[in-house]
A and B are shown apart, each in its own frame.
Chain A
Amino acid sequence: MTTEDLSFVIVGHVDHGKSTFIGRLLHDTNSLNTDRLEELKAACFALGRELEFSFITDHLQEEREQNVTIDTTQIKFKTDKRNYTIIDAPGHKEFLKNMLTGASQAEAAVLLVDAHEGIQEQTKRHATLLHLLGVRQMMVLLNKMDLIEFRQERFDQLKTELLQFLKTIGIMPAHVIPLVAKDGDNCVLRSERMNWYTGATFLDALDQFTCKNDTAHKPLRYPIQDVYKIADKRILVGRVESGTICQGQEIVFLPSQKHTRVASIEVFGKTNKKEAAPGESIGITLADPLFIERGEIACAIDAPPPIAKKIEAHAFWFSPHAFEKKDRIRLKLATQDVQCQVEKVDRIDSSTLNTIEKDATLLHTAEIGKFILVPEKPLVLEPFDQIEELGRFVLEKDGEPCAGGIVVSTHGTL
């Protein structure tokens, strides 16, 4: 029985109720340690105080088993449909670094806004954060509706304002939901105090997001890792990054543009494998005797990716050495490895998310660069929000990894 996994990030000011919201979510999905919860509820009742969900969220680590394989803070809960992981975003800098370097990977985002405070600089900054990360699946939660007496007109006003602003940075939320995290309205259970709202509850909306697993339906992308000569077969090994590859399928190798058919799918110990799905490390043989090297990507012939001469990308510069525009850097994306020149770079402060300098000559440690990169050889890639496995890269200088980033868009394609 395989259940789907989905990880998402909750972005929002801590005072806007993030901790309380997470606590409520865990409580309502029965994800909290019951013994501990009973103990806390009894204490609250005996002292005559309300149970503060945010206190529970803030101290989950105390009860959780020490999971040594995880670097980032991850909070998990289950529903019938999926296993969810909330990726915590305590500070922008650490969070951006983790997200742009793959240390955490959120497939969706939730923007939490205090309805009473309205849309502030904070909100705009958080939305910018999501834009920088290329996270496209998102929803907005307007919390603390009780503080504005559950008024529909105010909600509609805020919603319009928000949608307008988000549009300017290319974000279209799938849902805008009014809720009260403290009391649970519209979190897991529908609110009885806002009958005018007929949209989804938070959990319903979350269940509607699509998982990474669905890359199986995207076009085929199979980057070649290496070529092995086994017996008298030339086996091209690699990992299916998106789509499915089947025996007999017509494919095109890019950037060389060579066409052929898949003669066989090779996996040791399986004699009759007809197809492979995303994530599988396999080998293939070809119908035609083509010379293919690492760096080539086998793609669906009817939906090939762009081959870019110029790339617009966002990257987190973590190297202790600053980057100079004239530096020669290498870009590593999937199995491609090319030298790049930087045509332009804007410097963004990773804590405040403000643009420090447009068209800069230097990029410092812990800054975000909005790059225009020109690879020496055309690169096969995808915008991160299309097929993320072909939209994320590492920048190296002198053999040292310096930055991790994502592709925003491609220019000048072949």
Chain B
Amino acid sequence: MDHLDTLENKSIYIIREAYKKFPNMGLLWSIGKDSTTLLWLCRKAFFGKLPFPVIHIDTTFKFPEMYTFRDHYAKEFDLNLIVTKNQEALDRGINYATHDAITCCDELKTKALKQLIVQKKFKAILVGIRRDEHGIRAKERVFSPRDEEFTWDYKNQPTELWDQYKSPINPNAHVRVHPLLHWTELDIWEYIRREQIPINELYFAKNGKRYRSLGCMPITKPIDSTAADIDAIIQELKTTKKAERAGRSQDKESAYAMQKLRSLGYM
């Protein structure tokens, strides 16, 4: 088994454990590369057809290419797709032009999901987050409980031992399951390449720009890039990480040091 096989097998194990514990489960699909990879892994885990629904929280501000992609694959993979939105908030006029990103996210995404979980009585939600995405993610667990208020008490986390995952006892709580926690961004792309997982064209460079992640259109900015296919993206990822590590932080510190030494009269 190589590195990707190891990651794949572990994720499948986690997905199957989750389904055994929480048959009333849903997969949160953001149409992005991580959740699509998660979807792919679920298909493998369940031999083709997912025995639970796939949820898309539609903020109505997504790129049109994403909606096309979603509908096409929902059909091809025979998904039980639930598209939900916080209509009430949209009617109230919540949108990116008049409100800040955090409010939009909270109202249009988080609240919509909350409502759906309560309505459908989901006990667990599969989410495609990875530890290397963000500092705070480093403390996440594979099975992460959320109470009724959706709050995550990161200090009081259940210890995850020997691949044994915890079940919540509180009937109103639900669990977030993170089968991709151990994957890095590079792992995801290399797996996408190996499996030829369908990926939204927005990720590939057009006119010198491409999207590294796909959020809502008004707040997602593309990066400069000429990577027009997966191999190029992987190459770009490898070199950026190196450059970032070596160059950027050192430059900042160097500038600081110079300034301080000047103020102390050394230079």
Q: Which residues of A contact B (CB under 8 A)?
A: 2, 65, 68-69, 101-103, 225-226, 228, 230, 235, 237, 239, 266-269, 277, 279-281, 283, 294, 318, 332, 392-394, 398-401, 404
Q: Which residues of A contact B6 (CB under 8 A)?
A: 279
Measured CB to CB, the closest approach of chain A to B100, in angstroms, equals: 28
Q: Which residue of A lies closest to B3 (CB)?
A: A2
Q: Which residues of B contact A (CB under 8 A)?
A: 1-2, 5-6, 9-10, 12-13, 16-17, 19-20, 43-48, 131-132, 135, 137-138, 158-159, 161-164, 166-167, 169, 181-182, 184, 245
| Contact sample, A vs B, 21 pairs, CB 8 Å cutoff | A69-B131, A69-B132, A69-B182, A225-B16, A226-B16, A230-B46, A237-B16, A266-B47, A268-B46, A268-B48, A269-B44, A283-B47, A318-B159, A332-B164, A392-B162, A394-B161, A394-B162, A399-B166, A399-B167, A401-B161, A401-B164
Q: Which residues of B contact A281 (CB under 8 A)?
A: 9-10, 12-13, 16, 45
Give the distance in Å from the alpha carbon of A69 to the alpha carbon of B43 in the complex.
Answer: 26
Q: Which residues of A contact B1 (CB under 8 A)?
A: 2, 277, 279-280
Measured CB to CB, the closest approach of chain A to B12, in angstroms, equals: 4
Give the distance in Å from the alpha carbon of A228 to the alpha carbon of B47 in the complex.
Answer: 9
Contact B159 A101 (CB under 8 A): yes
Contact B17 A225 (CB under 8 A): yes
Contact B43 A401 (CB under 8 A): no
Contact B20 A268 (CB under 8 A): no
Q: Which residues of B contact A65 (CB under 8 A)?
A: 245
Contact of A400 among B9, B158, B245 (CB under 8 A): B158
Contact B162 A101 (CB under 8 A): yes
Give the distance in Å from the alpha carbon of A277 to the alpha carbon of B181 in the complex.
Answer: 24
Contact A279 B9 (CB under 8 A): yes
Measured CB to CB, the closest approach of chain A to B191, in angstroms, equals: 13
Q: Which residues of B contact A279 (CB under 8 A)?
A: 1, 5-6, 9
Measured CB to CB, the closest approach of chain A to B97, in angstroms, equals: 36
Contact A239 B13 (CB under 8 A): yes
Q: Which residues of B contact A266 (CB under 8 A)?
A: 47
Q: Which residues of A contact B12 (CB under 8 A)?
A: 281
Given contacts A392-B162, A401-B161, contact A268 B138 (CB under 8 A): no
Measured CB to CB, the closest approach of chain A to B232, in angstroms, equals: 23
Contact B48 A102 (CB under 8 A): no
Contact B131 A102 (CB under 8 A): no
Q: How many A-B residue pairs have CB under 8 A?
A: 85
Q: Which residue of B lies closest to A100 (CB)?
A: B161
Measured CB to CB, the closest approach of chain A to B132, in angstroms, equals: 6
Contact A401 B166 (CB under 8 A): yes
Q: Which residue of A lies closest to B8 (CB)?
A: A281
Contact B131 A394 (CB under 8 A): no
Q: Which residue of A lies closest to B130 (CB)?
A: A69
Contact A226 B161 (CB under 8 A): no
Measured CB to CB, the closest approach of chain A to B29, in angstroms, equals: 19
Q: Which residues of A contact B43 (CB under 8 A)?
A: 268
- Name 19 extra pairs, CB < 8 A, besides A102-B163, A230-B48, A277-B1: A68-B132, A68-B137, A69-B132, A69-B184, A228-B46, A228-B47, A237-B45, A279-B5, A318-B159, A332-B164, A392-B162, A393-B162, A393-B164, A398-B169, A399-B166, A399-B167, A400-B166, A404-B161, A404-B162
Contact A68 B162 (CB under 8 A): no
Measured CB to CB, the closest approach of chain B to A69, in angstroms, equals: 5
Measured CB to CB, the closest approach of chain A to B163, in angstroms, equals: 7
Measured CB to CB, the closest approach of chain A to B129, in angstroms, equals: 13
Contact of A225 among B20, B48, B161 (CB under 8 A): B20
Contact B161 A103 (CB under 8 A): yes
Give the distance in Å from the alpha carbon of A69 to the alpha carbon of B10 in the complex.
Answer: 15
Most chain A CB inside 10 Å of its own CB: which residue of B12, B48, B137, B182? B12
Give the distance in Å from the alpha carbon of A394 to the alpha carbon of B161 in the complex.
Answer: 7
Q: Which residues of A contact B131 (CB under 8 A)?
A: 68-69
Q: Which residues of A contact B163 (CB under 8 A)?
A: 102
Most chain B CB inside 10 Å of its own CB: which residue of A103, A267, A268, A294? A268
Given contacts A69-B132, A225-B20, A279-B1, contact A268 B44 (CB under 8 A): yes
Contact B138 A69 (CB under 8 A): yes
Q: Which residues of B contact A102 (CB under 8 A)?
A: 161-163
Measured CB to CB, the closest approach of chain A to B57, in angstroms, equals: 27
Given contacts A69-B138, A225-B17, A401-B159, contact A239 B9 (CB under 8 A): yes
Give the distance in Å from the alpha carbon of A69 to the alpha carbon of B140 in the complex.
Answer: 10
Give the distance in Å from the alpha carbon of A102 to the alpha carbon of B159 in the complex.
Answer: 10
Contact A401 B158 (CB under 8 A): yes
Give the distance in Å from the alpha carbon of A235 to the alpha carbon of B162 in the complex.
Answer: 25
Q: Which residues of A contact B138 (CB under 8 A)?
A: 68-69
Given contacts A2-B2, A103-B161, contact A226 B44 (CB under 8 A): no
Give the distance in Å from the alpha carbon of A162 to the alpha carbon of B182 in the complex.
Answer: 41
Measured CB to CB, the closest approach of chain A to B25, in angstroms, equals: 13
Q: Which residues of B contact A400 (CB under 8 A)?
A: 158, 166
Q: Which residues of B contact A332 (CB under 8 A)?
A: 164
Give the distance in Å from the alpha carbon of A102 to the alpha carbon of B6 in the complex.
Answer: 17
Give the distance in Å from the alpha carbon of A284 to the alpha carbon of B46 in the complex.
Answer: 13
Give the distance in Å from the alpha carbon of A226 to the alpha carbon of B15 in the complex.
Answer: 11
Most chain A CB inside 10 Å of its own CB: which residue of B12, B161, B184? B161
Most chain A CB inside 10 Å of its own CB: which residue of B137, B163, B164, B166? B164
Measured CB to CB, the closest approach of chain A to B193, in angstroms, equals: 16
Q: Which residues of A contact B182 (CB under 8 A)?
A: 69
